[in-house]
Amino acid sequence: MIVQAIAFYAFAAVTLAAAVMVIAARNPVHSVLFLILAFFNSAGLMVLLGAEFLAMILVIVYVGAVAVLFLFVVMMLDINFAELRQGFLQYLPIGGVIGLVLLAELLLLLGSDAIGSIAPAVASSAPTPPINEVTNTAALGELLYTRYVYLFQAAGIVLLIAMVGAIVLTLRQRVGVRKQSVGKQLRRRREAAVELKKVVPRGGV
Amino acid sequence: MAEVGFWGGYAWPALLIALKVLAIVLPLLLIVAYVTLAERKVMAAMQLRVGPNVVGPLGVWQSFADALKMVFKETILPTGANRVVFLAAPALMFTLAMIGWAVIPFDDGLVLSDINVGVLYLFAISSLGVYGIIMAGWASNSRYAFLGALRSAAQMVSYEVSAGFVIITVLLAVGSLNLSDIVEAQRDLWLVIPLFPMFVIFFVSALAETNRHPFDLPEAESELVAGYQVEYSALTFGLFFIGEYANMCLMSALTTILFLGGWLAPFDVAPFTWIPGIVWFALKIALCLFVFVWVRATLPRYRYDQLMRLGWKVFLPISLFWVALTAVVLVVFDWLPQT
């Protein structure tokens, strides 16, 4: 248990430090790199909890895909963070209030779970399979694709709509762009492309 | 719970794990050294040359001479480079290339860490590889390096998608995320036979993810000099180099496990089963690596828009269709793996 405890405190400490550095770093690229470090250490915390499937998905989706695109954009843009931070003190109170509200909500949720006012209802509606018998990939799959299948599909549709929206917003038809059309190239026949000309000497083509 | 002492409970297991890690990493580095030599020899043979033949008999010490040269050269830090990120990038690349091997089963039960989500772990590790390249390109403070890094980021993210769908197809057919289980499920029939198109797509995606020919646009010599690694010298370059070849080996190992039956003999009868599984595993990896080199010596480099077209407009629809087709076939014929 000591090893787990040490690992937990190491992961948690690095996550917190990295999260602070995300907003404290002067260079935006460093901020994104710290964000990635925070993601990665949260994945470590999930492994310690026994949720290895979620940990791997976190790394694959957030670190492997989302953060790459994030980094991509931040590197291309020339953001001056010092300018952005001008109004930091001005916005501090409202940001602090939002943070406090979120913290209070979290505490309420955890507290109610400990007291047991909501917990039995949740437990009876979604039986968690015993952790020793089923791998948590199988356990998640069994719940997601049976009991919560409609919610799961609804989440998928929301993502699909977001994707279609993003494409519609950014798609623009440019005229005069010479694009390669592979189908057209493959359809081209020798007869249409090559022509044998009889050239008269000194006459030119 | 019984009280365990410091030595019995923590120190000896930790020491044992460290020894096991060494037993994987040291042979791996040696293999990487010889993969570089084999690549040069095979390409030389394909181009009717001799290849390296001066250092040692048939040039067998060539890679060690190169390594020694690399170690003793000067590490140059470019002006205006972001030092910490610049030096962290090759270290990250090398580390990621090594830690993937933690879950690879070399033989029945011969695996450092037999975790339940082995495939996802490997997928996660290979998707992290792009950070080494992006960080290197950005921190170098050089146009060529930055262009190489941007190309690489877009390329690796694109081909990961189709590779992911291929992996899902395999998981559907096997019913487990554990690499040893995946190999065991292929005892009767290697998955390369029923899922041949997926095997091709996976291998091509592996070429793209390791930035190898014909997808080596991130380091295209003729236009970007050497892409993201243009500012690196000495050991920092060496780490990138080793990382790239170790990644090639890792992708070959993954291809072997997913499609070519891992450590299993091609036929489950006497003369084939006498050879130990780890030898079969090594032979199959060698075969994949040979194809990597063969492709490099044969094909010209893709143009960047063609690369993107192949990834998004060809591989993605085909692999998506095959995921659906595999699922339908498994359900209709009631072949779903029972867990």
DSSP string for chain A: -HHHHHHHHHHHHHHHHHHHHHHH-SSHHHHHHHHHHHHHHHHHHHHHHT-HHHHHHIIIIIIIIIHHHHHHHHHHS---HHHHGGGHHHHHHHHHHHHHHHHHHHHHHHHHHHHTSSHHHHHHHSPPPPTTTS-HHHHHHHIIIIITHHHHHHHHHHHHHHHHHHHHHH----TT-----HHHHHH--HHHH----PPBTTTB-
Q: What pLDDT digit, counting tens, does each position of B9-54 carry?
A: 777 888 888 888 888 889 888 989 889 898 988 999 988 888 888 8
Average pLDDT, chain B: 85
Task: Tell me the CA distances in angstroms from B274 to B183, B184, B267, B279, B280, one per residue in order.
Answer: 18, 18, 11, 10, 11
pLDDT for the residue A121:
47
Q: What pLDDT digit, counting tens, does each position of A40-60 carry?
A: 899 989 888 888 888 888 888
Task: Residue B134: list chain A partners with CB under 8 A.
Answer: 68, 71-72, 75
Task: Please report the ipTM that was assigned to this predicted complex.
Answer: 0.79
Among A21-35, A121-135, B26-40, B52-66, the range scoring the smallest mean pLDDT is A121-135
Sequence-distant (6+) residues with CB within 8 A of B56 are B62
pLDDT for the residue A66:
84
Confidence of residue A131 (pLDDT cuts 50, 70, 90): low
Confidence of residue A65 (pLDDT cuts 50, 70, 90): confident
Shortest Cα distance from B115 to chain A (angstroms)? 9
Q: What angle do CA B310, B315, B320 make, to 5 degrees?
A: 155
Q: Which residue in A3, A29, A135 is closest to B116 by CB distance? A: A135
Chain A contact for B320 (CB, 8 A cutoff) = no
Q: What pLDDT digit, counting tens, does each position of A86-118 carry?
A: 667 777 888 889 999 999 988 887 776 655 554
Q: What pLDDT digit, counting tens, does each position of B121-161 carry?
A: 888 888 888 888 888 888 888 888 888 888 888 888 888 88
Report, as an integer, the average pLDDT of A157-186.
87
Q: What pLDDT digit, counting tens, does each position of B64-103 carry?
A: 888 888 888 888 888 877 888 888 889 998 998 888 888 8
- Report the percent of chain A where pLDDT is more than 70: 83
User: What is the length of chain B?
Assistant: 339
Say whether A36 and B135 touch across the interface (CB within 8 A). Answer: no
Q: pTM for this one?
A: 0.83
Report, as an integer, the average pLDDT of A161-171.
92
Task: Tell me the CA distances in angstroms from A183 to A180, B113, B178, B201, B306, one per residue in order.
Answer: 9, 48, 42, 21, 13
pLDDT for the residue A153:
92
CA dihedral sign, ordered A96, A87, A77, A30: negative
pLDDT for the residue A112:
66
B1 pLDDT higher than 50: no
Q: Which residue in A29, A65, A180 is closest to B138 by CB distance? A: A29
B290 pLDDT higher than 50: yes
Amino acid at residue number A122? V
Q: What burial letters (b/e) apply to B250-282, b meaning 16+ CB within 10 Å?
A: bbbbbbbbbbbbbbbbeeeeeeeeeeebeebbb
Task: Residue B160: list chain A partners with CB under 8 A.
Answer: 64-65
